[in-house]
Structure 1
Amino acid sequence: MCVAAEASTGDETIRLVREQLTGEPFDVVLLDIAMPDKNGIDTLRVIRQMRPEQGVLILSGYPESQYAINLLRAGANGYLNKDCEPDEIVRAIRSVARGHRYLSEAVADTLANSLDKPAATNPHEQLSEREFQIFCKLASGQIPTDIAGELHLSVKTVSTYRARVLEKMHMTNNADMTYYAIKNGLIE
């Protein structure tokens, strides 16, 4: 096993994956959620559009209970918390490189618990992938115009998603979203 390339931002990662389009793909792309310029969630979406078969493993400091299921739905092949043991990272990379998904014990428990529950217990768990993505961006202080440009949507579409999020989560404004996201460890 060797490191073929390194990137410190989402855009660099996308550029490196794009350069591989004419050749052999990377065995695994290891992504963090918190990166400068473009977060791991958005980077994952772009990678999935460019190369759907690319193995992507998320290694992040964010809690599995808050992000893992949404990222797996968005196309990640696995999710690990940075607090895991180094040998687990190696196992996960090897599993994803073979074309499998990797679920840590914590992620498997989170997934199993979500199957046991009749409905979402946290308001953000009932959001669709796109609603959750826009919720996190709004809660982080981004404005709809910037979000629209970044996600290649119209401002009206972003505003519609915002209205749905506010309604589903029984909130009235962006400050409510920010407070909730910080309180639940969804943003820093």
Structure 2
Amino acid sequence: MNYKLLRALPVLALLTLAACDPAEVYEKNTDLTSPAGDPYVWAVQEKPAFEFEIPDTTQAYDVYLNVRNVADYGYYNLYVRATLTGPDNRVLSRKLHEMTLMDPKTGEPRGDGSGDIFDHRFLALPGQQFPVAGTYKVVLEQYMRQDQLRGIMAVGVRVARHPASN
């Protein structure tokens, strides 16, 4: 069985859906590996950063956090701190987000899944206003009290025009 192809199918589905969304401004995901190269491990020192352009400051935007996990992820939730900085490197937002990946009572995975892989999109900053045009950055940090958090395959950021702004 071609596991690389199976792993790529959810990504291809998300890309196809994203390509059809005229509100989308930016979306990127980063695969995670441990410092030793083990797949599906988010090391506490790894802080993926995502940079995107905001050309229109008259609009509001929704900023989402994407998470891909395997079904045997050891917890029902995931704590992530997201820091948004502006073109002048000033911090505009720093928030700790709790994301529920599994049903706390049944342990059943949530999200869109295919086999033992599940994708989630969490609205982190609804209706975000950006004060000036330019390049913004979101940095993600796992806050799970684990140096090596196993079972998280990828994380990412999506920025879309807020529906009321379209």
Q: Shorter-chain-normalised TM-score: which range?
A: under 0.3
TM score, norm. by length of structure 1:
0.25
Q: Give the structure, 1 or 2, with the largest relative contact order (CA under 8 Å, sep 6 or more).
A: 2
Which structure's residues are more often strand, by fraction? 2
Could you tell me the TM-score, scaled by structure 2's length?
0.28
Structure number with the higher helix fraction is 1
